[in-house]
Structure 1
């Protein structure tokens, strides 16, 4: 599963927020979070720039549904610190965005992702 912090095209803010989210997720039981190697990071490094990490890779440990629920709760709590924080979770063909102040419609999408994304994960196992 991939997690991307969306920052409206502000790459420095995106990197800063991604590091902050990474740090917050390290404390969540039932998941493993890391910075996957990406072609974009490698290309930046080859061009003489610093390698940047704006995508987090998450592996659910143990039972998928409880771990995914813990992950979503942690992201919601992290996002709630600032109203304009936005995070996209992607698992295969499923994706959902979580914001600092979700409305009812977004909450329904998150619940559907929890059901469909988890079902998708279990089918691959």
Structure 2
């Protein structure tokens, strides 16, 4: 037995067809909220987090340095600063070990290692 809803042939009233006053999407959700302008434009932004790549590399174990050589050498510092916790995770290091064994076994890995992080080194316009 099928329980389908039957369409009703009730014509819409003229009031339902007319657009409502303030019937825009912004009136439904509310207009954009304005933020008062700061006295100094630099104070409105978050403070920049300083990242010392050399100091970070010194905290790595020799195995991590070997596995993350590609990231250390080719990943742009702005990306490395954001991804440092992720690339030192157990899962990422296991992936790097697996890729290393594949390369050592003579298998082709795509993209080529020198191109893996090429998007992070694009010049900013």
Q: How high is the TM-score relative to the length of structure 2?
A: 0.23
CA radius of gyration, larger in: 2
Q: How high is the TM-score relative to the length of structure 1?
A: 0.23
Structure number with greater CO (CA < 8 Å, separation at least 6) is: 1
Greater strand percent: which structure? 1
